[in-house]
């Protein structure tokens, strides 16, 4: 295969870089401080972009690459890729949806257990030397794990899933009113931005817990912080935040939250599997074969 120019917008993982380097003419955007000069000298040779949820493909990037044919996202989420503009320009888009499902579901269950059984507090108690001194897929995959704990399971989605055996609610407020633990696991779109707002949080109530392993902007973070401080919500387990990597500092002092640095897919096996899908989609494009995971 002729060496095709591929732009990687953000450091992802060494395996992906190594594999792209061996197959394509790879440009690492972060190595070029003067991006205007970089695009002037190299844009004509770049036909593909490998992106993720840190730096995706917005209109500015797309316009800087007149020969761009494909955007391969090393993530399940596509909120950092301007899909409408890609459609308009005839640029194909792929992602890595299925290989990360189990990891995300596992962390969601882990956050639930950490919150309800106070695992982090217990860990800190032992590590502080106090034990001897004092008193002693994602949505479907999460549901499957929760069944093992004999949890009644309900869900909300844009469309009711007739094959599902779980209880369906037609709105998020209604769902929150009828559950103790609300897990957010959906794509970030205009419709799902702040899908968890003050009304949903209040419906979940002072005995309810919120788990977010989707995107930070699914949740109105200031409203969440206020609810946790005021006791209108029992607790929260968060892997994602609205302004990553910046986290609302008010959360740091709360003992009813568990905070993770966006690591739900952070296993070597899953990250490498995601990388393989990115590579496979790029090779399929340049060999005129069907994509592994087409989006548009």
Tell me which residues are annotated as active site.
Answer: 215, 244, 262
Spatial distance between the Cα atoms of 96 and 200, rounded to a whole number of angstroms: 30
C-alpha torsion angle, residues 83, 87, 93, 99 (rounded to 10): 50
CB 235 within 8 A of CB 256: yes
What is the CA angle 181-186-189, rounded to 5? 130
Going by C-beta distance under 8 Å and a sequence separation of 6 or more, which residues neighbour residue 142? 105, 108, 109, 183, 185
Spatial distance between the Cα atoms of 192 and 160, rounded to a whole number of angstroms: 16
CA dist list (Å): 277 to 19, 172, 217, 221? 11, 33, 26, 33
Alpha helices by DSSP H, the chain? 14-23, 35-42, 59-64, 83-89, 101-116, 119-127, 139-147, 172-177, 198-204, 221-230, 268-286
What is the CA angle 188-190-196, rounded to 5? 65
- Tokens at residue 262, please? 């966006």
DSSP 189: -
Spatial distance between the Cα atoms of 252 and 168, rounded to a whole number of angstroms: 35
Residue 190: CB atoms within 10 A of its CB come to: 6
Judged by DSSP in three states, 275 sits in helix
């Amino acid at each position: 295969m002729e060496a095709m120019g591929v732009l990687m917008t953000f450091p992802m993982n060494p395996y992906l870089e190594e594999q792209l380097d061996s197959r394509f003419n790879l440009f690492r955007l972060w190595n070029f401080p003067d991006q205007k000069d970089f695009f002037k000298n190299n844009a004509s040779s770049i036909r593909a972009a490998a992106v993720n949820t840190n730096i995706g493909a917005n209109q500015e990037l797309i316009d800087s690459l007149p020969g761009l044919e494909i955007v391969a996202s090393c993530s399940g989420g596509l909120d950092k890729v301007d899909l409408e503009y890609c459609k308009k320009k005839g640029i194909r888009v792929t992602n890595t949806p299925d290989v990360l499902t189990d990891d995300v579901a596992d962390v969601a269950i882990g956050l639930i257990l950490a919150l309800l059984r106070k695992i982090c507090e217990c860990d800190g108690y032992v590590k502080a030397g106090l034990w001897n001194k004092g008193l002693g897929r994602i949505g479907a995959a999460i549901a499957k794990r929760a069944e093992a704990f004999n949890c009644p399971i309900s869900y909300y989605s844009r469309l009711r899933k007739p094959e599902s055996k779980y209880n369906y609610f037609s709105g998020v407020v209604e769902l929150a009113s009828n559950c103790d633990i609300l897990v957010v696991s959906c794509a970030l779109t205009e419709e799902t931005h702040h899908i968890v707002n003050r009304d949903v949080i209040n419906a979940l109530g002072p005995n309810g817990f919120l788990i977010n392993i989707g995107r930070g902007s699914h949740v109105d973070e200031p409203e969440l912080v206020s609810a946790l401080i005021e006791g209108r919500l029992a607790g929260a387990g968060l892997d994602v935040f609205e302004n990553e990597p910046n986290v609302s500092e008010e959360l740091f002092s709360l003992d009813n939250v568990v905070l993770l640095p966006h690591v739900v897919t952070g296993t070597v096996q899953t990250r490498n599997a995601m990388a393989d899908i990115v590579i496979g989609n790029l090779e399929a494009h340049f060999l005129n074969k069907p994509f592994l995971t087409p989006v548009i």
